[in-house]
Amino acid sequence: MKATLASFQDAFVDALYGRVPHDSRVVALMDQPGFAVYRNTVFQGCVDALEANFPAVVRLVGEDWFRAAAAEYVSLSPPTETRLLRYGQNFPDFLASFEPAKSLSYLPNVARLDYSWVEAHVAPDDRHVTVIDLTAWPPQQAERATLRVHPSARWHWFADEPAYTIWRANREGADIPDDLVWEGEGALLLRPSSNVVWQPLSIGACAFLDACAAECDLESATRRALEREPEMDLGQCVSTLLTAGAIAEIKVRDAVS
Amino acid sequence: MISPRHTNIALGAGVGLKPQHYEDAYAVEQGELWFEVHPENYMVDGGPRLAWLEMIRGRHPLSLHGVSLSLAAEQEPDATHLQRLKALIDRVEPALVSEHLAWSAWRDHYHPDLLPFPRTQDALLRVAANISRTQDTLGRRIAIENPTHYLTITGHDWSESDFFREVIRRTGCGLLVDINNVFVSAHNLPIDPIAYLDAIPSDAVMEIHLAGHSVDANGALWIDSHDAAINEGVWHLYRYLIDRIGPRPTLIERDGQVPEFDVLLGERQQAQSLLDRRISMDAMA
């Protein structure tokens, strides 16, 4: 094989990740102590980025366990883009199939909330509307309005476990509450102004936001929310979302507020 | 909108901007102080990082120092990355833009380091083409930083200084001389640091970097870790270089064990004093 720049680079990457390099120039480098400097820097850079992006997971499992798991993830899924502040999008899925994490069923969902924080943190800035903006519309027009969800908003429903309470305690550096009830929970994270904020969310409210994101009008979003949570107080739910800053815009047919 | 008032002033000594210093950097009174950041950390759609950068840019000149354009990879710079860089440049109007003579992004992955390569004729053509494409896209001249070396690579067709000279001749780019990289490489390879500095095409130098380094666990290699105060040997080489080529914008870099802002300002003042001394030498001549 011709010794090209590309073959050097392919071989160097193979050597970094512990595979056999197919370029004699790189083979000659692996015995030098300096090669480990590059390998350490690459892995440390990736693991540091994951540690920064998944702080609640780190607190739950401890730094040593986390860094060992993260190094395995780096080997399988090196960064695909240069912005490491977004690295780890499928780290939660990796944790879900990671044998040593099997006993921690909630860990992948805690990781999903950490990653939602990352996404909210770097999302576009946008305005948000208030309850007054919505109530300004006559009910018949409001029913046909669509609510545009704030671009920083991320929400999840976790059917099987209190992943939000566990995440929140670890994110805030607090203890898990003694009265923790092992049941499904939802969560909303968003950045209405400069800081990412979070709050619990009911299954109906999650369905409502899903419907808004799918550009359903208010009437149809309400129907979908009530299908999931028949006893919910829809007015209270909409008011909570508006107060949180989760709605960027009210779009009424032929009019925008 | 940011006023372009800073873009053409002569820069003295500046400091690498870390998020833990945003408030200090915004509040500091020295208007001539400038800051440098890695653009990759600000290639975001919105949020507090970008807001801080714009606020600080409103009061101080800024330099964007890229780490991931991967100019020495045998592929074109990523078009999306270049567009994001261009958008950030349009937004903050930096006084300087720089990158490294290294590769990191390769095929579909990013390996976060500044990786080495044999300086072959093919590599020279590729690096020159990548720099030209970058400068054409950004619509401005960029400075390229000399790498730190940890390996003795065989198969170089060019010495590093001749490689830089030829790349500069072909592309019109500038140089960013990292004195710590020279100092650390001089120990690791070894090379003669004075001979290296003497071979630098002085007219092309747009910026100088100063940083600290560490010794690896085995004690054999020095590591360009940016996690310590600037070494006396680095200060000595700095003085040597500016005595030869004249004063240039000089940055204090610190990425690990980041001290209080005032400590960095102290190192920055040390560099500024050497620059002032060099300027007065010219005035007396």
- Number of domains present in the structure of chain A: 1
* Chain A: residues touching B (Cβ < 8 Å): 3-6, 8-10, 12-13, 16, 25, 28-29, 32-35, 37-38, 41-42, 45-46, 49, 78-85, 121-126, 151-152, 191, 194-195
Q: Does the residue A53 lie in any domain?
A: no
For A136, the domain range is: 109-257
Are A5 and B48 within 8 A, CB to CB?
Answer: no
CA atoms within 13 A on the CB side of B231: 19
Mean pLDDT score of chain A: 95
Q: What ipTM goes with this model?
A: 0.94
Task: Compare all CA atoms of chain A with the CA of B220 and give the residue at the minimum distance.
Answer: A33
Task: Give the single-character DSSP code of A113.
Answer: H
For B62, the domain range is: 4-284
Each residue's pLDDT tens digit, B210-225: 999 999 888 789 999 9
Q: Residue B158: which pLDDT band, with cuts at 50, 70 and 90? A: very high
Which residues are bridge partners to A106 per DSSP?
none
Q: Does the residue A118 lie in any domain?
A: yes
Q: Name chain B contacts of A9, Cβ cutoff 8 Å.
A: 73-74, 103, 106, 115, 117
Q: Does the residue A65 lie in any domain?
A: no
Q: Does the residue A208 lie in any domain?
A: yes
Asked if residue A173 lies in contact with residue A103, where contact means CB atoms within 8 angstroms, the answer is no
Q: What is the CATH number of the domain that holds B127?
A: 3.20.20.150
pLDDT number for residue B32? 85
Mean pLDDT score of chain B: 94
Q: Does the residue A212 lie in any domain?
A: yes
| pLDDT mean over B130-149 | 98
Q: Does the residue A87 lie in any domain?
A: no
Q: Does the residue A74 lie in any domain?
A: no
Query: How many contacts, defined by CB atoms under 8 Å, are there between A and B?
Result: 123
Single-letter code of the amino acid located at B120: T
Task: Compare all CA atoms of chain B with the CA of A37 and give the residue at the minimum distance.
Answer: B150
- Number of domains present in the structure of chain B: 1
pLDDT number for residue A114? 98
Q: Name chain A contacts of B218, Cβ cutoff 8 Å.
A: 33
For residue A2, give both structure tokens: 């011709």
Are B115 and A12 within 8 A, CB to CB?
Answer: yes
Are A123 and B118 within 8 A, CB to CB?
Answer: no
Asked if residue B152 lies in contact with residue A32, where contact means CB atoms within 8 angstroms, the answer is yes
Which residues are bridge partners to B145 per DSSP?
B100, B176
Q: Does the residue A195 lie in any domain?
A: yes
pLDDT number for residue B9? 52
